């Protein structure tokens, strides 16, 4: 869902222009950025269940628990509000939390409610990854919607060379998101 997260960030940029695109892109992936050092130290693990796209179970019991993500989203939103005001902070917090919502749709049941799966509560995940066609389609919808919204935002109010630059940057963003999805699907990422 890497590319889908980025598609959402592009769509949000079109609606909240005061927040930089880089901050929105980072916010959609912040949970995974925090996951990396825990993965490298074997605190959190990924178990391959086969070859190809989305064939894994992720045991990210700390970074991807519902409570952890809510706390990270809140703290990130507070920090962002210092940089981009109340609306920017609320947006960044919501975008951080959107990662968990999108993961809930695609993950098999491997998302804990509490950090460390405290209390052995049921794990969450609707398992869209079980159907690669539908999962890829969902990502393509997010990429397409995000690209179109971003492009419309980028070219509005511009003329001449600035309009051409906006179109090129929008096209480049779309190509990069599609390459990200292709890398994920082909297993080269």
CA neighbor of 132 nearest in space, from 54, 64, 17, 78: 54
Q: pLDDT for 3-16, tens place per residue?
A: 889 899 999 999 99
Mean per-residue pLDDT, 10-35: 94
The band of 30, judged by pLDDT with boundaries at 50, 70 and 90, is very high
State the pLDDT at residue 37. 96
End-to-end CA distance of the chain: 12
Coil, strand or helix: which one is 47?
strand
Percentage of the chain beyond pLDDT 70 is 95
Cα Rg of the chain (Å, integer):
17
* Helix (H), strand (E) at residue 142: helix 132-155
164 or 69, which is more confident: 69
State the pLDDT at residue 1. 67
CA neighbor of 32 nearest in space, from 98, 108, 119, 116: 98
Choice among 61-65, 104-108, 141-145, 179-183 with the minimum mean pLDDT: 179-183
How many Å apart are CA 123 and CA 32, to the nearest integer? 18
How many Å apart are CA 85 and CA 164, to the nearest integer? 31
The band of 49, judged by pLDDT with boundaries at 50, 70 and 90, is confident
State the pLDDT at residue 51. 67
pTM, two decimal places: 0.88
Q: What residue numbers bound the domain in which 59 lies?
A: 2-186
The band of 52, judged by pLDDT with boundaries at 50, 70 and 90, is low
Q: In total, how many domains does the chain have? A: 1
CA neighbor of 59 nearest in space, from 26, 107, 4, 27: 107
């Amino acid at each position: 869902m890497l590319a889908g997260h980025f598609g959402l960030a592009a769509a949000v940029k079109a609606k909240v222009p005061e927040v930089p695109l880089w901050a929105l892109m980072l916010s959609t992936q912040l949970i995974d950025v925090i996951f990396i050092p825990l993965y490298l130290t074997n605190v959190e693990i990924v178990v391959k269940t086969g070859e190809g796209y989305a064939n894994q179970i992720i045991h990210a019991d700390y970074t991807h628990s519902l409570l952890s993500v809510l706390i990270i989203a809140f703290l990130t939103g507070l920090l962002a509000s210092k940089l981009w005001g109340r609306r920017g902070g609320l947006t960044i917090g919501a975008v951080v939390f959107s990662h968990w919502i999108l993961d809930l749709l695609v993950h098999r049941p491997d998302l804990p409610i509490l950090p460390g799966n405290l209390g052995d509560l049921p794990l969450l995940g609707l398992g869209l990854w079980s159907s690669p066609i539908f999962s890829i389609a969902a990502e393509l919808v997010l990429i397409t919607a995000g690209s179109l919204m971003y492009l419309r935002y980028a070219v509005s109010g511009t003329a001449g060379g600035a309009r051409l630059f906006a179109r090129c940057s929008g096209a480049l963003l779309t190509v990069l998101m599609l390459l990200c999805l292709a890398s994920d699907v082909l297993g080269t990422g």
